[in-house]
Amino acid sequence: MLLLALLLASGFRSPINNFDTEKAADGIYAFVATEGRNGLVSGNSVAIIGDDGVVVVDSGHFPSLTRRMVAELRKVTPKPVRFLVNTHWHPDHHAGNFVWREAFPGVSVISTEYTREQMEKQAGRFDRPESIRDILPVVEQRLASGKNKNGTPLTADDRAYLQGILEDGRAVIPELEAYKPSRPDAGFERKLTLHLGKRIVEVMFLGRGNTGGDAVVYVPDAKLLATGDLVVAPTPYGIGSFFGEWIETLGKLSALEAGTIVPGHGPVQHDKRYIDQLVALFSSVRDQAKAAVAQGLTLEQFRTKADVAKFRKQFAGDDPARIRAFDDAFVTPGLARAYREAKEGPLKDED
């Protein structure tokens, strides 16, 4: 009961079977993914309804959840989905492509050329059911022993975290097994304009950031911007990212006239304050990495010296799950990427 109480107190709802539908603007609906608490996540999706069809931005992670998005969309419009945009190659933003194609066989799936290439190259890097199966017995053993891998006793938060992995892990295996690869069939380099009658939807590549091919989607008449994982809340991701360019890309993002922002993860936003917070964080990490390289520090020395405490507090507060997410998904990979970038110059991979 204590584990359940902790999960409920934190507002936990599994991202495998939950999302919220929000009317973000006239004729535009955001399917806001539930915040993951243990590493399993799904990206936000957006449905943009025009005079003669719909553009969907990102397709969800889990097939059953994506089918519910299709059903939600059909409640508000009978119009067909003509275009589906994948903002980047991470599977929590494109794994649902095949579901949208099943529901709307005429849909054209669009991404940057880079993203399409990475979907092929990175296939199998994440989302392997075998990996989930392998980790579940380890989690069960840790819960049974009452100890962390370093031998220290599990705290109540540790137990809640591990129990969440166990429950979500069991639930996600059939979802991952149901996945069918469905790559984009149209690519672009810098900008693509989609026409939905009078409503125009602009799909743009503003520069590298979270990945090497991040697309953003802008609806001028609604002043609405869907950012993909260039913007992620409440804590950003730093896996495979390009920090120096990410800062510049966010500057271009902020220059767009947008009163409503749908991030890749997290609630719909109505100002650019969070983007400013991201720029401050990324700038600090970049500058600290440059200083460490100039001083001849190794990566491990840089990890020890780097100071992100004020940002951890700003982004994660006192929430144990968010602190873990900030450290595991941003700090650990992000410091390594920023250090490599400071040492090698612009990076050419996402490893």
Residue-wise pLDDT tens for the chain (351 aa)? 333 333 333 445 788 889 999 999 999 999 999 998 888 899 999 999 999 999 999 999 999 999 999 999 999 999 999 999 999 999 999 999 999 999 999 999 999 999 999 999 988 788 889 999 999 999 999 999 999 989 999 999 899 889 989 999 999 999 999 999 999 999 999 999 999 999 999 999 999 999 999 999 999 999 999 999 999 999 999 999 999 899 999 999 999 999 999 999 999 999 999 999 999 999 999 999 999 999 999 999 999 999 999 999 999 999 999 999 999 999 999 999 999 999 999 999 998
Buried b (16+ CB within 10 A) or exposed e, 59-98: bbbbbebbbbbbeebeeeeebebbbbbbbbbbbbbbbbbb
Beta bridge partners of 81: 54
Beta bridge partners of 90: none
- pLDDT tens-digit map of 54-64: 999 999 999 99
Between CA 193 and CA 202 the distance in angstroms is: 5
Q: In this structure, is residue 199 part of a structural domain? A: yes
Q: In this structure, is residue 349 part of a structural domain? A: no
Same-domain check for residues 206 and 77: yes
Which CATH number is 39's domain given? 3.60.15.10
- Helix boundaries (H) for the chain: 2-9, 63-76, 97-103, 113-121, 129-145, 156-177, 243-255, 273-294, 299-305, 309-316, 320-325, 332-344
Between CA 310 and CA 315 the distance in angstroms is: 9
Same-domain check for residues 149 and 103: no
In 3D space, the residue among 246, 215, 238 whose CA is nearest the CA of residue 306 turns out to be 238
Same-domain check for residues 98 and 55: yes
pTM score, two decimals? Answer: 0.93
CA distances from 69 to 59, 65, 122 (A): 9, 6, 26
Same-domain check for residues 240 and 218: yes
Same-domain check for residues 136 and 12: no
Same-domain check for residues 111 and 13: yes
Same-domain check for residues 70 and 199: yes
User: And the tokens for 183?
Assistant: 């790559």
Same-domain check for residues 112 and 215: yes
Beta bridge partners of 30: 22, 46
pLDDT score, position 284: 98
Q: In this structure, is residue 350 part of a structural domain? A: no
Between CA 25 and CA 34 the distance in angstroms is: 20
Number of compact structural domains in the chain: 3
Residue 187 is inside which H or E element, if any? strand 186-188
Same-domain check for residues 144 and 188: no
- pLDDT tens-digit map of 145-193: 999 989 999 999 899 889 989 999 999 999 999 999 999 999 999 999 9
Give the domain extent around 306: 277-344
Same-domain check for residues 161 and 190: no
